[in-house]
Amino acid sequence: MSRVEVESLLKSFLLFFLSLGALSAFLYYLNYTKELKTLDETIFSQMRVCSYDLKCDNFAFDFIDKKERELYTLLQTDKGVQAFFPVSGSVSYVMALSLDKDAYQKQIAELQKDLFLEYLMVFGAIFVLSLLFSLYALYPLRNALLLTQEFIKDILHDFNTPLATLRLNIAMLKREYGGSPKIERVENSVQHILDLQENLRAYLHNHEMQKEILEVRALMLERIALIEKSYADITFSVTMELTHITTSRDAFVRIIDNLLSNASKYNKVNGFVKISYEVANECLVIEDSGKGIENPSRIFDRFYKEQERGIGIGLHIVKKLCDELHIGIGVSSVVGEGSRFTLTLR
């Protein structure tokens, strides 16, 4: 299951399970209070029968001064429960029947045990039903996601032929007419489509388990060497010692390429892109002198963009890959001055 499928399953399961669990707990509480009342009524009925023939071993009885005793009522006392009944032929005394506290609490404990076992069985049934309901509710979503993924994979595959043709024709034009700004713009556009294709491919795959040891400084220099050819007016610098991390190379490269690409595309003329590493916080920092971001809190939202270029999924994919690799990502920006992205590599 993908992360979104697991999240949907857990949320639907918890919603159904907790709702039914809370409802059943409330119903069993009402049933418990009802059973307590029934228990008291049973005890009182037994006392009333006992008041006629005194043939009962579980109750203690005594004859006490009548005074203003409340008759035919089960009373709760510190010593247990007690009821008073009239004595035939006597106007001054009443019979007091009582059940000691330990015996009364024992009957309540048995009642609680029986109800608790019943509730456990109901709770187990609710758990199973909630799981089945969640799986059933997830099924259409899972099918839709699979269809979408297959559709994107087909499109990505179909891209290969026209892109290969474009690159071949560009190479032929460069050999025939030499380099020119127009050909370079076409070449950059093709490269942009290739980058978008790689982003979509990265979006479809889970990279969490494909891990290896990477040397970050060498990787940064490698990716800068590829991107700086397209941005001759941008100054790139790397200030960091040898640093090793264990992660997915493909996913981490996607993250770095997206951040470096954005830092270059939206930079100023003769601007800079600085890469550094904060040892104390174990953070990789990518800083630029670009246009800045008006709403840094929204840049990881799917399809959100502040420029005409792009379609607004690059940074969303970056956030998704960071979550899969358990890399923290943060951003701070000042409009007109630049942006600062931090990747926590702990």
Mean pLDDT is lowest, of 151-155, 206-210, 315-319, for 206-210
Predicted local distance difference test score (pLDDT) of residue 2: 66
Condensed to tens digits (0 to 9), the pLDDT of residues 102-152 reads 999 999 999 999 999 999 999 899 999 998 888 888 888 777 777 777 777
Q: What is the mean pLDDT of residues 93-103?
A: 90
Domains of the chain in start order, with CATH, are 3-136 (no CATH), 208-344 (3.30.565.10)
Condensed to tens digits (0 to 9), the pLDDT of residues 44-57 reads 999 988 888 788 88
Which position has the higher pLDDT, 308 or 258? 258
Q: What is the mean pLDDT of residues 172-184?
A: 78
Residue 208: pLDDT over 50: no
Give the 3-state secondary structure of the chain.
CCHHHHHHHHHHHHHHHHHHHHHHHHHHHHHHHHHHHHHHHHHHHHHHHHHHHCCCCCCEEEEEECCCCCECCCEEECCEEEEEEECCCCCCEEEEEEEEHHHHHHHHHHHHHHHHHHHHHHHHHHHHHHHHHHHHHHHHHHHHHHHHHHHHHHHHHHHHHHHHHHHHHHHHHHHHHCCCHHHHHHHHHHHHHHHHHHHHHHHHCCCCCCCEEEEHHHHHHHHHHHHHHHCCCCEEEEECCCCEEEECHHHHHHHHHHHHHHHHHCCCCCCEEEEEEECCCCEEEEEECCCCCCCHHHCCCCCCCCCCCCCCCHHHHHHHHHHHCCCEEEEEEECCCEEEEEEECC
Predicted local distance difference test score (pLDDT) of residue 121: 92
* pTM value > 0.75: no
Residue 311: pLDDT over 80: no
Predicted local distance difference test score (pLDDT) of residue 310: 61
Predicted local distance difference test score (pLDDT) of residue 209: 55
Q: Whole-number mean pLDDT of the chain?
A: 84
Condensed to tens digits (0 to 9), the pLDDT of residues 234-280 reads 999 999 888 888 888 888 988 998 899 889 988 988 899 999 998 88
In which band, very low, low, confident or very high, does the pLDDT at 10 lie, cut at 50, 70 and 90?
confident
